[in-house]
Amino acid sequence: MESGLVAGHLRLRLPLPTARHHNHHHLLRHRHPVAAPAAPLRLSLPRPTPTPLRLPAALPLRPYLPPLRASAAAAASPAPAEDASVPKFLGVETKTLKKIVPLGLMFFCILFNYTILRDTKDVLVVTAKGSSAEIIPFLKTWVNLPMAVGFMLLYTKLADVLSKEALFYAVIFPFIAFFGAFAYVLYPMRDAIHPTALADRLLASLGPSFLGPVAILRVWSFCLFYVMAELWGSVVISVLFWGFANQITTVEEAKEFYPLFGLGANIALIFSGRTVKYFSNMRKNLGPGVDGWAISLKAMMSIVVILGLVITGIYWGVNRFVIDSSSVPVVERKKKDKPKLSLGESMKVLLSSRYVRDLATLVVAYGISINLVEVTWKSKLKAQFPSPNEYSSFMGDFSTATGIATFTMMLLGRMILRKFGWGVAATITPAVLLLTGVGFFSLILFGEPLTPLMTKFGMTPLLAAVYVGAMQNIFSKSAKYSLFDPCKEMAYIPLDEDMKVKGKAAIDVVCNPLGKSGGALIQQFMILSFGSLANSTPYLGGILLVIVLAWLGAVRSLDSQFSPLAKQELEREKMLKAKTVETTAQVVGTGNGSLQESLASDTSANGSAIKPSQETESTTPANGSADTDSTTPANGSAIKPPQETESTTPGISGHQPQ
């Protein structure tokens, strides 16, 4: 190493070789007879002064550090700006924007369509002649669920034979074609294709309790529209869009931009609600005898078809002009070992842990409560707004208010969790349902004595019940997205790994389906037992009160278990972080000490190596000091140089002294 350092210094100090020097070198090696070769050789080699060699600053020590010290120096130095040449716009790479902006437009169009379809499907099945809100629980259980299962089986088969792009088109085009055909073909032909006479005979023979099941047959095309609108939300949003988004985005991009998609969804909800409101009020400007709802339906379905084609166009453009091998993340994802528990195994897991039982109660209670209130509220909504246009206009206002409330609650949700804790945040959703539910059912059951008071405010008990029910649906849905879902997911964190995996699987198998269908099953039983939804309203109110109180008790119990576990988890993380920092400090301190010791040893070694090399150079002017183009091992000892080396002094063929 010492000879290498000196040689490196000589490379920096000696003049470059000239043609005459090369000529002398050639003559010297082959010993050609040339007149007085030695005198020019001694005169042409000015001996460098040794003074610069004794200066430590002139020695290039850094490139010759051992590997450990070199890596430490590299870690200490700032990393070069690798992405300085990457084009950016507003601080975001243009390659990322080319993916995120089209995805945002696709998501906006899909949610815009979904809001129109969701409002329209309720108008069709609730306000149809011979139907009412009693059809909804039967429709969800006996039509929507089987068709959803059948569609997913068909989707699985198509996924095996079609490419991803062809599968996207094969799924979305039937939706677009159906909604267009419904507005322009099926709805105008409703009187011809609906078996009204057969439905009347069945209802007469079965009794009024079977109004809901018979209405499914009576307005089968409207029910088909209801199911297709529901499938648009579950298939086009969950399967097609999010599958495509997860395919072309990286994890870093998803963390940064996916939350913005959630805010964009509520903005789409606001604008689509205004659109429904506008087209629903077209009836006011039409003459008598004109089917205003048919015109409004054609206008809204035309928007759905156009935006559907826009969605497919964006998808085609992204696949053709944006996606390439460099923009699509190539990640090998290992399949998670998620246990597939049977129904019996899931029940054992739920019964074995109080913590998991409380968490399951939250999930089931929310699903049942929402269904109990929503169907009863829609039945009163039809009584207040029997016309399809009036019903649709109110649903437009409802969607806009839901979007605004959800957007606001999503912004406030983090602050509530941070300031008041898990218990308060988890209590808000059932508390809202309890207060608004008591007010809603009280106005329905005990509204007659309040009629004179309501008249002073220009309202009736029925209209007040409709508004209170709307407030309940708006705030419960906004609280679900902003508080209930985050609190539910946070509750899994303190569990041990085994219970975390098995408990979540048990809740997915048992509680989610039970919560979604439990409310519908309860309503079906009540309707068939008491003859109608109106007759079963008092009992539904009592069931809602019991379920929400059980929900609040489960929240209180879960908070008493969650808070200590969360504190322990937090303390454990702090201790682990402190240990990590301490270990890192020790490693860094040890590394710096060894680095300084190595630098000191190298400096002394270099200093001791300079003097012998200078003495050698002064005592052997004919040979000079040979350059050893060798490396230095980590221990600082020099490797024995080879016998023949490249001379650093032009014109001399040097040999390393033995």
Reduced to 3 states (helix: H, G, I; strand: E, B; else coil), residue 129 is coil
pLDDT of residue 294: 92
Distance separating alpha carbons of residues 79 and 70, to the nearest angstrom: 14
Distance separating alpha carbons of residues 160 and 153, to the nearest angstrom: 11
- Calculate the average pLDDT of the chain: 76
- The rounded percent of the chain whose pLDDT value lies above 70 is 70
Q: Are residues 264 and 412 in the same domain?
A: no
Residue 114 is part of a domain; what is its CATH number?
Answer: 1.20.1250
Q: Are residues 389 and 506 in the same domain?
A: yes
Which residues have CB under 8 Å from 317's CB, separation 6+? 102
Q: Are residues 432 and 348 in the same domain?
A: yes
Q: Are residues 201 and 310 in the same domain?
A: yes
Residue 341 phi, psi (nearest 5): -85, 140
**pLDDT above 90 (res 250):** no
pLDDT of residue 181: 97
Is residue 1 one of the residues assigned to a domain?
no
pLDDT of residue 423: 87
Q: Are residues 313 and 359 in the same domain?
A: no
Distance separating alpha carbons of residues 508 and 341, to the nearest angstrom: 10
Q: Are residues 326 and 349 in the same domain?
A: no
pLDDT tens per residue, range 462-504: 899 999 999 989 988 888 888 888 888 788 877 777 777 777 7
Which residues have CB under 8 Å from 114's CB, separation 6+? 229, 232, 233, 236, 237
Q: Are residues 202 and 146 in the same domain?
A: yes
| Confidence at 584, pLDDT banded by 50, 70, 90 | low
pLDDT tens per residue, range 382-419: 999 999 999 999 999 999 999 999 889 888 887 888 88
Q: Which residue has the higher pLDDT, 556 or 71?
A: 556
pLDDT tens per residue, range 11-32: 444 444 444 444 444 434 444 4
**Domain end call among 559, 583, 611:** 559
Boundaries of domain holding 412: 343-559
**Domain end call among 330, 352, 368:** 330
Tokens 């309503």 belong to 523
Instruction: Please name which of 560, 565, 557, 137 lies closest in space to residue 360, comparing C-alpha atoms.
Output: 557
pLDDT of residue 532: 87
| Confidence at 587, pLDDT banded by 50, 70, 90 | low
Q: Are residues 289 and 162 in the same domain?
A: yes
pTM for this predicted structure = 0.70
**pLDDT above 50 (res 629):** no
Q: Which amino acid is at 80?
A: P
Q: Are residues 426 and 288 in the same domain?
A: no
- Contact predicate 479/427, CB 8 Å: no
pLDDT of residue 290: 80
Residues 71-92: what's their mean pLDDT? 51
**Domain end call among 284, 308, 330:** 330
Residues 564-586: what's their mean pLDDT? 71
Q: Are residues 108 and 236 in the same domain?
A: yes
Q: Which of 215-219, 447-451, 555-559 has the lowest mean pLDDT?
A: 447-451
**pLDDT above 60 (res 78):** no
